[in-house]
Amino acid sequence: MTNRITLFSLLLLAGLLPAGQISGQTSSPAEMRWADRSRLGRPFAKDPSVIRFHDHYFLYFSLPPFDPKLAPTNAPAGWSIGIAESTNLLDWTKVGELNPAQVCDQKGLCAPGARVLNGRVQLFYQTYGNGPHDAICHASSADGIHFIRDPSNPVFHPAGNWNNGRAIDAEVYPNGKQLLLFFASRDPLGQTQLLGVAAAPLTSDFSRSTWTQICDQPILRPELPWEKHCLEAPTVTRQGDELVLFYAGAYNNEPQQIGVAHSADGVHWHRFSSAPLLANGSPGAWNSSESGHPGYFLDVDGRSYLFYQGNPDHGKTWQLAFVRLDWQGNRPALAKP
């Protein structure tokens, strides 16, 4: 058995196994591992966001720029968003891409956040490659694969002297009559990553004019040693009277790990613990370099999942995985195997 696992690991890191064969390994708490190979010829997918729509599961994720040796003649220049489909959350098939198509995203787009609202998939995502000018965009779809982009894109970037104008890592969540938009920004010097929130009427079209920033300072900033200089990738659910937010702490591979906080109003947040909820793996594990960029998913049967990204090689490869969550009141815990 030891020799078989060692051979599998070597083949995986060398890019000699198809992405679908990553699923089902049991060397970590992750119940699924998946990645796309189309851009680099090795497993690489980041920033998961999962929904259930029309009796199927859709996974939206970030795709890197093409390796020039693998790029077709019409290859997009920068980052894109991949779309995969599944019937069981374990086995995924890539079914589409969202590539640069507007002036604002011509350098790339990534970090999708999907939500089903009004019978359509509402997808929020960021432009990439513009430094402090990166902002949040919006598109919608009737089938989860083909999207109509908002002509007012980008629909949101933050204001105030606590940030540098950048907005990335969009997550939306309905709260009463509002749709809350959680995002990451940076301090005015562009060094520390922070979290903020905006809101739009839930009955609106979510175009640029509908959004109002509802914080005049970060709703969360790095404070704990393991968070270092970065909080990003907010993802939100509700438990009883409170909102619960999972977030990534520290920049990629420092290692990035996942924490959790709670709030009564979506603006004022308090951490549950000074320790990560989901840490990076031990040396030799598939996620030894990080467990990061969470995406929360609540299935129709009431089961809770936390999707995330990980790798063992400081970012040469990236895989997507999930762990199941149990709840004690409003407090999440990793489900026992």
CA atoms within 13 A on the CB side of 256: 26
106-109: long-range contacts, CB 8 A cutoff, minimum separation 24 = 106/77, 106/78, 107/77, 107/78, 108/65, 108/76, 108/77, 108/78, 108/79, 108/80, 109/78, 109/79, 109/80, 109/81, 109/137
Percentage of the chain lying above the pLDDT 90 cut: 90
Nearest partner of 83 among 110, 116, 119, 55, judged by Cα: 110
Dihedral angle over CA of 288, 292, 296, 297, nearest 10:
-50
Average pLDDT of the residues in 89-101: 97
In 204-263, where does DSSP find H-type helix? none
| Cis status of the peptide bond prior to 154, with omega within 30 of 0 | yes
pLDDT score at 29: 60
Residue 190 has pLDDT above 60, yes or no: yes
State how far the Cα of 245 lies from the Cα of 226, in Å rounded to an integer: 17
Predicted TM-score (pTM) of the model is 0.91
Burial class (CB in 10 A: 0-12, 13-18, 19+), 103: exposed
Tell me if residue 196 falls in helix, strand or coil: strand
Quick one: which H or E segment has residue 5?
A: helix 2-13
Kindly list the distances between the CA atom of residue 21 and the CA atoms of 34, 109, 134, 319, in Å, as whole numbers in the listed order.
8, 27, 35, 12
- Phi, psi (rounded to 5 degrees) for 124: -110, 140
Q: Residue with structure tokens 């996620």?
A: 287
pLDDT score at 337: 78
Nearest partner of 6 among 20, 25, 19, judged by Cα: 25
Residue 214's CB is within 10 A of a number of other CB atoms, namely 16
Query: Contact 109/125 with Cβ under 8 angstroms?
Result: yes
Residue 48 has pLDDT above 50, yes or no: yes
CA atoms within 13 A on the CB side of 277: 27
Average pLDDT of the residues in 75-89: 96
Residue 14 has pLDDT above 70, yes or no: no
pLDDT score at 336: 86
- What is the topology classification, in CATH, of domain 37-334? Tachylectin-2; Chain A (2.115.10)
Query: Contact 175/236 with Cβ under 8 angstroms?
Result: no
pLDDT in tens, 242-299: 999 999 999 999 999 999 999 999 999 999 999 999 999 999 999 999 999 999 999 9
Query: What pLDDT band is residue 42 in, cutting at 50, 70 and 90?
Result: very high
State how far the Cα of 239 lies from the Cα of 230, in Å rounded to an integer: 26
pLDDT score at 9: 40
What residues does each domain of the chain span? 37-334
Q: What is the residue-wise DSSP string for 39-87? A: TTSS-B-EEEEEEEETTEEEEEEEEPPPPTTT--TT--SSBEEEEEEES
State how far the Cα of 179 lies from the Cα of 182, in Å rounded to an integer: 10
pLDDT score at 58: 98
